[in-house]
Amino acid sequence: MHADLEKLQRDAYNAFRDNSTPPEIRVALDELYREADEHARTVLSDEGFLDFLAAYISREHTKLQAERDGKPEHYPYEETRTRPLCTCSDRYCELKEGRVARQIREADDPLEALRRFDHDHNGEPLVLHDAKEEYARRYGEIEQTYRRIMICGDHDIHPDELDDLEPPIDTEATDADDATAAPADD
């Protein structure tokens, strides 16, 4: 999975770095690339993933506290969390305390450790499920950004103009489809 994103990252970079790309487009794509690259560090490294996971669990713990206290205005986030972080009966569960479980933190492969923890834990670690969804969403956004960069670089399109473009309508194919769809009455 990471190898695919790394290849996409290289392809996106190469799509606009040649001298034929107009300078204003190259500058805009370089800025977009740097932003995507910064976010990609989260999904391309174990340390980045653990940092993401720790921040996510801590943030969700704070949101749950805001909900329980009934005073969300005293907390830094606009929304609160109503679902528990974990459904286990362990009152010392690290997830419930807003921390990444030791088994995940200290593992050589945090993603595999997360899967094992999810399977072996005596409750439902809901915050881990939510974190995996958010991680997958971010991964998809990074992929999409790299693809946009490639399209813009390959076709010399400024990224701000890409959304304004509509795919061309193939009128010849439409006429041929109409001719075969409606048989003529004799």
Question: What is the full DSSP assignment across 35-72?
Answer: HHHHHHHHHHSHHHHHHHHHHHHHHHHHHHHHHHHT-G
Is the Cβ–Cβ distance between 57 and 98 less than 8 Å? Answer: yes
Token output for 57: 């669990």
Burial class (CB in 10 A: 0-12, 13-18, 19+), 88: middle
Token output for 90: 């362990």
* 77-109 tens-digit pLDDT: 889 999 999 999 999 999 999 999 999 999 999
Of 34, 35, 45, the closest CA to residue 5 belongs to 45
Arithmetic mean of pLDDT over the chain: 87
> What is the model's pLDDT at position 17?
83
* 106-132 tens-digit pLDDT: 999 998 999 999 999 999 999 999 999
Q: How many CB atoms lie within 10 A of CB 16?
A: 24
Position 1 confidence tier, pLDDT thresholds 50, 70, 90? low
Radius of gyration of the chain (CA): 24
CA atoms within 13 A on the CB side of 77: 14
Domain locations along the chain: 2-162
